[in-house]
Amino acid sequence: MPSPKGKLKAKYSDDEGTRDGPSWTEAEEEEERAGLLDQHRKRTPKPASLIAPSIEAESWTERIRRLGTQTYSGKSRTIPFNPPGAFFFNLYFLAVAVSQFVPALRIGLLMTYVAPLAFVLVITIGKEAHDDYLRRQRDSIANSTRYQILDWSSSNHSANPLSNSHHASTVSQIQGETIPSTTLLPIKTIPSAQIRVGDILLLDKNMRVPADLVLLRTSDQASGSCFIRTDQLDGETDWKLKLALEFTQNLADGDAGLLALDGLSSIDDDHRLASNVNNGQGKKNDHTTRLEVYADKPIMDIHTFNGTLLIHSRQSVGAGVGGGGRSAEEEPAENRHPNLGDDLDPVRDSIDDIEINSIHEILPHHSASSPTSTETSKVPITSENVLWANTVLAAGQAVGLVIYTGTETRAVMNTSYPKTKTSLLDIEINQLAKILCIVTFTLSVALVALNGFRGPWWIYVVRFLILFSSIIPISLRVNLDMGKTVYAHQIENDPEIPGTIVRTSTLPEELGRIEYLLSDKTGTLTQNEMELKKLHMGTMAYGLDSMDEVALQLATAFGENAPDPLGHPAGSGLPTASLLATRGRRDMSSRVKDVILGLGLCHNVTPVINDDGSVTYQASSPDEVAIVAYTESVGLKVRSAGDLPVHVGVEADGDHHPGEADGEVTFYQKGADAVMAKIVQSNDWLEEECDNMSREGLRTLVMAKKKLSNEAYHRFTRRYLSARVDMGADDRQEAIQRVVSEELENNLELLGVTGVEDKLQEDVKSTLELLRNAGLKIWMLTGDKIETATCIAISSKLVSRGQYIHQVSKLEGPEKVQKELEFLQQKQDCCLVIDGGSLASCLSYFESEFIEVTTKLPVVVACRCSPTQKAEIAMLIRRYTQKRVCCIGDGGNDVSMIQAADVGVGIVGKEGKQASLAADFSINQFSFLTKLLLWHGRNSYKRSAKLAQFVIHRGLIISVIQAVFSSVLYFAPVAIYQGWLMMVPFPPLCTYFSPAYGYATCYTMAPVFSLVLDQDVNEDVALLYPELYKELTKGGVIMILSLILFENEFLNIVSISFTSLILTELLMA
């Protein structure tokens, strides 16, 4: 009888059904899940983008497997460059150059018109090619980074040769009746570009995660946790806690050889891992476990992952070869894995509408000759069990199973390519070029008409068009691009605004045209450095000056001999309760204990022990760190994260943590007052105290609890676990939220309210005043409530002294919206404060009218705004006003707003770099905006405008001289400047040919570059009189009339004209 074989397999589905590698047992093994897969095939469309091949299907999946995890960020795969917009911009000059190949149209030397075009294209393409080369170099480095994987495809296995399939390799191949005690699993090192779905990767500290992985095992044996840095994925600088699957983390030492981490830091290509495959000497293993990982189709959301780990436990019934066995039903409960306990009973065998990307199986050997009994359990795989690509393992070591690679990873799917932004100056110049083109054609036809339409007059028209082509100078775009480079260099090297980065070098001139500034509040106007200032519990309030009293109350409540509510040993070193004398103080101490304990539990803060023994806190929000720091200061210190039996995380509503003590379960919840007010018991002080704290500029959070009986807790646990593995639900998170709302989030006991202060950034008041004097209309868009936002607006001087503040909240219906708009039309000097719901109503009923009215107001404060609303406001202002809009923010929720603006400015803040990386300009603090706009923006715009006028004037004068010369020669289309004079593109060639050669470029090179460095006023004057910025917003610097009337450029025209006449006389002599 042939020996049965256990295999690591990859299973996938396509339109033709489900394919898999060689069977790991007999036919009945496939029948075991036939119903599941058949049901899946009937209901779910099968994606064709599934990777993970097996032997039988290797050719079918070869194309997909070649994708791997290779990174490519270049702009073209076929040529090393792809200059954007070059064809459209140079179409006119290309037509002129091509015309010179026609003998009847040729004027002078062919190179006279070909060389300038070639020069411009070489400069443009060369720049793009250089940038693309640098991108390819970075890609090459990323793709060649080497990683260690378990080598399932090794064919020279020392003890038991493995299969030659990369994803269908055997864990053990039993030859004859001799059963070796271990199976050696080799490890090999490969470049990241060769990583495929189904590979098991070994990661060490500070290694970049090359693909999306399911976390199987970590070096933290107790908790199975590890920390990752996600700043390159979501921009957040805090560390994220990830947990390995409990089943694979808790494998016995013998079975865990597959995923062993021992010696990981010093593994080389020859290192091999050992895995036990038997339960005793001379006996075959009579218990087998097959694991299947189900993953849904790739999506963009990095906070959501729906997957399931199927655990098929097979136990031999009766005696088999080498020993007897018991069925799964006969196995003692204490010997079963904790994941297979009674809590999972209600959710066994229920899987619906899943999208199978890959199913990976680890199958130890079992005896095929013995009757068997199989038990299947399901364990949910959530986002906390997954490591996304481009994150970095911050601490510890980890082993993971690759589930998505290449374009299916969350990192690639979330890589957005924002719309290319074009400055208003470029748009105006393009419009002007169209007018000049019409002028050129009109002038050409007029000269031919004056001579009469005789002979091949159409050829004469074309020749005149070529002669007057200098009216639209080909060097204009090159000169402007060189100027932009100089402006970007000046901005980045300004010592007064250190750390400023120009990420979009085509927009410096836009900084001088801003009329609307849309700003975030937290982290932008404020420092995002939080400190808990007040703790209110209805009848008692504590501030920073009464921390000793809180510590005393907390010490009294716990008592020296009181049991720890989390089940830790008594005696935490806190003071005893000997100072209490009355029952009333004991009651107050109990209330303080509940609040502080809830604050100490309801958070996502992770304490990290540094090399020097100090402890730092990592969290997704500074609010959380401030609260934990407060609890530590009064005597309750966070020891570690993840010690609670169940952690229910529903971020939209706050933090949930149950703590079990004295035979019952206490559920603690912390959240925003707007949410908590709906689920706490009736009270008469919550709304009032939240409003009072908001008026003081404090951010409020509400603390509540609920006691659950053991029966209620177990009922919730069963429903919660069932919802977590319910892959049939359209939204697993929605199913979980429904369970939490029905079982926990109702009739909570209100404990207290915290007030956290966020300090203003440095020089915010003076910055806002200068910008307002410069003519900018400022909007503050925030997610905070009206009271807090109003307080910050007043304290930051965003609202002027004595200015009327008009608040609009809970506005519904078109009649009320129309009434408010009519009031605002009569009150144009007030500050509007509006909440998110009212804003949505206004935009829904009277979109254009609302924007028309509010854009005339000096200040608008929008509260409770979602990221989508922020971006929508920016786009609507641009659409209806046709004015330049600048958006500034520091968090991930500001990215959409920043990308929707004409100019996006990101601040490197406490919440990460996501806004900074997505912005056109990155600064370190809000006050840098003053110099960025009033000095660098103003100079960049005025310089580029003068530069454009100078170059266009130069072409006009040359064309006028040509027209006069042709008129003298009876309107003959003959060039006045012969040979190389108009061709030489850069100064070195000027000295080679002749000082007179290349006049249009060489002689006027110095004036062009002098304009790039021109300053009409010094920096101190520009910042002292911000009103100078207003003239630029009128857009009159580059208007067509300024070219026709010459008012400010008369001196340039005179100098060019007389110099041209002198040179003409010299050449004609």
Residues 348 and 718 sit within 8 Å (Cβ to Cβ):
no
Q: In what order do the strands lie in the sheet with 225-229?
A: 239-243, 225-229, 392-395
| DSSP assignment string, 92-155 | HHHHHHHHTTSGGG--S-THHHHHHHHHHHHHHHHHHHHHHHHHHHHHHHHHH-EEEEE-TT-S
Residues 627 and 599 sit within 8 Å (Cβ to Cβ):
yes
Structure tokens at 126: 């060369």
SS3 771: helix
Strand residue runs (E) in 719-836:
749-760, 777-781, 805-808, 831-835
Q: Is 611 a catalytic residue?
A: no
Structure tokens at 627: 């609260």
Bridge partner list, 906: 889, 922
Strand residue runs (E) in 678-737:
698-708
| CA gyration radius, the chain | 36
Q: Which of 200, 234, 13 is nearest to 916 (CA)?
A: 234
3-state secondary structure 537-585: CCCCEEEHHHHHHHHHHHHHHHCCCCCCCCCCCCCCCCCCCCCCCCHHH
Q: Which of 426, 520, 653, 920 is catalytic?
A: 520
Residues 536 and 703 sit within 8 Å (Cβ to Cβ):
no
CA distance 837 to 630: 34
Neighbours of 30 (CB within 10 A): 14
Going by the DSSP 8-state scheme, the letter that residue 495 receives in this structure is: T
* Helix, strand and coil in the chain, % to nearest 5: 40, 20, 40
CA distance 52 to 168: 9
Q: What φ, ψ does residue 264 adopt, rounded to 5°?
A: -60, -35
Structure tokens at 443: 């002038």
Structure tokens at 637: 């210190």
CA distance 344 to 341: 6
Residue 923 to residues 499, 798, 937, Cα–Cα distance (Å)? 6, 21, 14
Counts for the chain of helices (H) and strands (E), in that order: 34, 35
| DSSP assignment string, 602-665 | SS--EEEE-TTS-EEEE-SSHHHHHHHHHHHHTT-----SS-SS--EEETTTEEEEEEEETTEE
Strand residue runs (E) in 195-238:
200-203, 212-218, 225-229
Structure tokens at 358: 């890959």
How remote is the C-alpha of 987 from its chain's centroid? 46
Question: What does DSSP say about strands 146-150 and 169-173: parallel, antiparallel, or unpaired?
Answer: unpaired
Structure tokens at 653: 């509503």
How remote is the C-alpha of 105 from its chain's centroid? 55
Going by the DSSP 8-state scheme, the letter that residue 682 receives in this structure is: P
CB-based burial, 959-982: b 16+ in 10 Å, e otherwise: bbbbbebbeeeebebebbbebbbb
Residues 148 and 189 sit within 8 Å (Cβ to Cβ):
yes
CA angle 381, 384, 389 (to 5 degrees): 100
CA distance 603 to 599: 7
Question: What does DSSP say about strands 698-708 and 654-661: parallel, antiparallel, or unpaired?
Answer: unpaired
Would you name the residues annotated as active-site residues? 520
